[in-house]
């Protein structure tokens, strides 16, 4: 559970959550749209599911946020807000990873396809699967996606 001690602390926590989960999820949605050239309305709908929780939190004034009953409601809504954003960030990371993975496999010739798949699965396991916390997994997704980009660059001869 996410707790806070003051109005300022609450809004600092919200800013941290937004920086850690909302902004990356939003960026991922935009990247998916670019990569797939398809609408990402469903993902945007998933993102919008978090809005009522943050709106509810922001509806309380500075003097209200420390009232025990309201504080419980705020902390519960903050938890729900964070959970929705984490789920969306994981979903978008997986989608980007899948798109890039298939790009690499399509760039491989038949002889190297199996070894490339095996290599990618081993790296993915090390960077993502074996990580115990959400934040470690999320960092693993970033590293794996960066690795996939490097492989695509090598396969295509294009450097970003």
Nearest one of 94, 105, 92, 96 to 152, comparing CA atoms:
105
**Global pTM value:** 0.90
Instruction: Give the CA count within 13 Å in the CB-facing half-sphere of 7.
Output: 9
Quickly state the pLDDT bin for 7 (edges 50, 70, 90). very high
Tell me the backbone φ, ψ of residue 118, rounded to 5 degrees. Answer: -60, -45
129-158 per-position pLDDT tens digit: 888 899 999 999 999 999 999 999 998 887
- Report the half-sphere exposure of 151 (CA within 13 A, side-chain side): 21
Count CB atoms within 10 A of the CB of residue 20.
17
């Amino acid at each position: 559970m996410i707790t806070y001690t003051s109005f300022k602390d609450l809004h600092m926590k919200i800013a941290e959550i937004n920086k850690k989960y909302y902004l990356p999820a939003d960026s991922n949605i935009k990247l998916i749209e670019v990569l797939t050239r398809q609408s990402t309305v469903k993902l945007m709908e998933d993102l919008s599911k978090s809005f009522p929780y943050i709106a509810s939190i922001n509806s309380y004034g500075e003097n209200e946020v420390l009232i025990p009953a309201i504080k419980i409601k705020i902390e519960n809504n903050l938890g729900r807000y964070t959970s929705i954003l984490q789920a969306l960030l994981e979903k978008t990371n997986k989608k980007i990873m899948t798109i890039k993975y298939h790009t690499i496999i399509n760039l491989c010739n038949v002889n190297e396809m199996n070894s490339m798949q095996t290599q990618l699965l081993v790296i993915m396991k090390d960077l993502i699967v074996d990580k115990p916390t959400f934040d470690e997994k999320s960092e693993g997704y970033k590293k794996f996606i960066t690795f996939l980009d490097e492989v695509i660059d090598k396969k295509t001869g294009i450097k970003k």
